[in-house]
Amino acid sequence: MDMGIRGKRALVCAASKGLGLGCARALAEAGVHLVMNARGAEALEASASVIRADFGVEVATVAADITTEEGRAAVLAEAGAVDILVNNAGGPPPGMWTDWDREDFIAALDANMLAPIALIKALVPGMMERGWGRVVNITSQSVKSPIAILGLSNSARAGLTGYVAGTSRQVAGKGVTINNLLPGIHATDRAVALDTGVSEREGITLDEAKKKRCATIPAGRYGTPEEFGAACAFLCSQHAGFIVGQNILLDGGAVNATL
Ligand code: NAP
Return d(Cα 64, Cα 14) in angstroms, integer: 9
| Ligand 1 pocket: which of 88, 144, 154, 213 to mutate (most atoms within 8 A of CB) | 88
Tell me if residue 216 falls in helix, strand or coil.
Answer: coil
User: pLDDT in tens for each of the 259 residues of the chain?
Assistant: 999 999 999 999 999 999 999 999 999 999 999 999 999 999 999 999 999 999 999 999 999 999 999 999 999 999 999 999 999 999 999 999 999 999 999 999 999 999 999 999 999 999 999 999 999 999 999 999 999 999 999 999 999 999 999 999 999 999 999 999 999 999 999 899 989 999 999 999 999 999 999 999 999 999 999 999 999 999 999 999 999 999 999 999 999 999 9
Atom of ligand 1 at shortest distance to CA of 193? 3
* pLDDT value, residue 190: 86
Against a cut of 0.95, is the pTM above it? Answer: yes
Please spell the DSSP secondary structure of 21-40, one letter per residue: HHHHHHHHHTT-EEEEEES-
Cα 190 to ligand 1 centre (Å): 7
**Which residues, 6 or more positions from 95, have their beta carbon under 8 angstroms from its beta carbon?**
149, 151, 152
> 30 alpha carbon to ligand 1 midpoint, in Å?
23
Q: What is the C-alpha separation between 217 and 203, in angstroms, rounded?
A: 22
